[in-house]
Amino acid sequence: MDTAEVVIVGGGIVGSSIAYHLTQAGCRDVLVIERETHQGKGSTGKSIGGVRAQFATPVNIRMSLYSIPFYAGFEEHTGHDSGYRAQGYLPINSVCEGRARTTGPKDKQQSGTDGLRSSGVAPRRRC
């Protein structure tokens, strides 16, 4: 039976990232188990690939702030082009429920970091 020092269940972005960072930290015996025929058939493969720093929880914001320069230097880190292009991000949200669902400066402040620049734009017409 195969064994490994670290076994990661799921080869989506989270499992793959953990595996990558463990090996970068010196762990040489990492096994990623994926139930599908190949990686990325879960949420990761369906993602539109947007990268942003405004999230509702500090831990998500910190992960994003780590990942943005990582994606920018992805080819340098891995030898593969990630296709990342820093072109800005414009979330458009419904205000029908009485409040916009977007994350913004308030969430950014919760992170205790500077985050990225963001500003709100009021809709001209409410539904």
| Residue of 8, 11, 53, 107 that binds ligand FAD (CB under 6 A) | 11
Q: Which of 21, 7, 19 is nearest to 77 (CA)?
A: 21
| Residue of 9, 27, 56, 95 that binds ligand FAD (CB under 6 A) | 9
Nearest to ligand FAD of 60, 113 (CB atom): 60
Tell me if 47 contacts ligand FAD by CB under 6 A. Answer: yes
Q: Compute the least distance from the CB of residue 59 to ligand FAD, in Å.
A: 13
Token pair recorded at residue 80: 């593969």
Helix or strand run (H / E) with residue 48: none
In degrees rounded to 5, what are phi and psi of residue 51?
A: -120, 120
Tell me if 38 contacts ligand FAD by CB under 6 A. Answer: no
Rounded to a whole number, what is the distance in angstroms from the first to the last CA of the chain?
60
Question: Which residues would be at the binding site for ligand FAD (CB under 6 A)?
Answer: 9-15, 33-36, 41-44, 46-50
